[in-house]
Amino acid sequence: MTMDLEQETRIRYRRTKSVSRAEDLQKEEARIRRKQPDKPCHKPRDSLFSWSSGFDNFTGLVNWGFLLLTMGGIRLLLENFIKYGIRVDPEQWLIVLTGRHEGGADHPSVILLMYSVVPVVLCLLIEKGLSVEIISYTPGMMAHVVNLLVLVMIPMVVIHVKSSGFSLIGATSVCMIYSILFLKLWSYIQVNLWCRNRRLSVSKSHLRRQSLSFHHKNASDDAANGSVDHEEKNAETSLVHYPDNLNLKDIFYYILAPTLCYELNFPRTNRIRKRFLVKRMVEVVVGFQVMMCLFQQWIIPSVKNSLIPFSNMDVAKATERLLKLAIPNHLVWLIFFYLMFHSFLNLIGEMLHFADRNFYCDWWNANNIDTFWRSWNMPVHRWALRHLYIPLVEMGYSRTAAGVAVFFVSAFFHEYLVSVPLRTFKTWAFMGMMGQIPLSIFSKFMETRYGPRWGNIVVWASLILGQPLCIMMYYHDYVITHIGEDLIDGYGHV
């Protein structure tokens, strides 16, 4: 055994010596070649575009691509101006936003927005009754379920009945506010349920400890425990405890806060940064104007022009219209993301001293669809993880089933926010969201098989092409449903 070990060590030494010898020979050869009279200038090197070269500085090509994209965008913008003229009209913005062209003088969208306070107050009253045990658990939960269902159903019924009284902006705003309230109240109910269960378990354990201490503890132990409890209480004096959180001030702060997840004690900032606040205000105002200009000048004509090819199923022309619409739509979507998740939510957070500003992560680097949905909208992702995914897993469901449930709820609300304001009850948005599941599998396959770059390309392609396709389908169905097929013949000359 010892001889074998010595022989193996000797072989390894010879191998190491041979490798070192080879490197020495190469260095010696390179030194001799440099002294040759032909002045050699070649050495073993890989081309920069080869993966083995290790070269990764493509900043110039990125600048070239950005410049080329900018020039292409400017060309399309000039083509739009030449073909349609200046379509930007700020007066129309005011008419749309104020709802001046809504049927009648009652402004139902404003009334529904004011009514949204009612389900919030009802939720608080039910929780107060549960906390003092005036309402038992089962009737209380049933009341919460009914309150949440009515909250979702009211916009659907009212917008359908008084269809002529709603502007598109008004109906969309109502559906958005009511959807947010649904998610917020769900979180509020669930967190208070956790607190009630914790209070019940602590009270039971406290009774057991009292029984044990009565029989087995002496006075010195009680004094020591009392001093520890006193220190803990002093450390928690600044925190709100259940059920002291059940008041109007607390729930309305939560309703206005830029989060969907309720807590009894949110992290707070000490002061409002005035310069930061002004910057966010300017971004919201200016960015909104830019979005409205792009809608009027670029998106509306492109959507109208897509009607005939899409209706006739002319694949070539429909694809051309899709690609033409993709650029302004994607630009508006990027502006919307920045305005909503950076400017507006930071503005609200700054005014309310809300310290958690993690509204988005680096979704632009996502290598698969799952990573994108976990990164681009952190308030919704945090809500889905905390109040839907983890509870379902803890109830015994598989992670796959819990993930499908999350996508199902997301698909429902995407469809809700589109179909209800348009009064066109199709399922394109729902199917688009549920289609993210197989797309996620495909993007992971591309990431694993061809590398993270190709996975990221799949993510960007789905964002750039999926949204304009959905817009074209809904516009076609809206025209067919509410205006009639005669309008398609009227656009035939465009």
- What is the rounded CA–CA span in Å between residue 422 and residue 417? 9
Q: Is residue 219 part of a domain?
A: no
pLDDT at 488: 56
61 is a domain residue: no
- Give me 405's structure tokens: 């449930």
Q: How confident is the model at residue 435 (pLDDT cuts 50, 70, 90)?
A: confident
Residue 134 lies in a domain: yes
Residue 150 inside a domain? The answer is yes
* Residues 227-264: tens digit of each pLDDT: 545 555 554 567 888 888 899 999 999 999 999 999 99
> Cβ(359)–Cβ(258) under 8 Å?
yes
Structural contact between residues 332 and 291, judged by C-beta atoms closer than 8 angstroms: yes
Q: Output the pLDDT for position 73.
A: 76
Domain extent, residue 178, equals: 96-198+240-266
314 falls within a domain: no
Give the pair of three-digit tokens for residue 423: 């009064």
Domain assignment of residue 246, yes or no? yes
413 lies in some domain: no
The reply to whether the predicted model has a pTM over 0.85 is no
- CA–CA separation, 430 and 419 (whole Å): 10
**Catalytic (active site) residue 414:** yes
Domain total in the chain:
1
Per-residue pLDDT of 145-196, as tens digits, reads 999 999 999 998 888 887 777 777 888 888 999 999 999 999 999 999 999 9
Lowest-confidence range among 207-221, 301-315, 375-389? 207-221
3-class secondary-structure state, position 133: coil
Facing residues of 354 across strands?
Answer: 268
Count other C-beta atoms under 10 Å from residue 352's C-beta. Answer: 17
Q: Determine the average pLDDT of the residues in 340-347.
A: 92
Percent pLDDT > 90 in the chain is 29
Query: What whole-number distance in Å separates Cα of residue 123 and Cα of residue 147?
Result: 7
Q: Which of 426, 408, 410, 407 is nearest to 418 (CA)?
A: 426
| CA angle (80, 85, 88) in 5-degree steps | 95
- Choice among 144, 414, 476, 482 that is catalytic: 414
Is residue 268 classed as helix, strand or coil in its secondary structure? strand
Mean pLDDT of the chain: 80
169 inside domain: yes
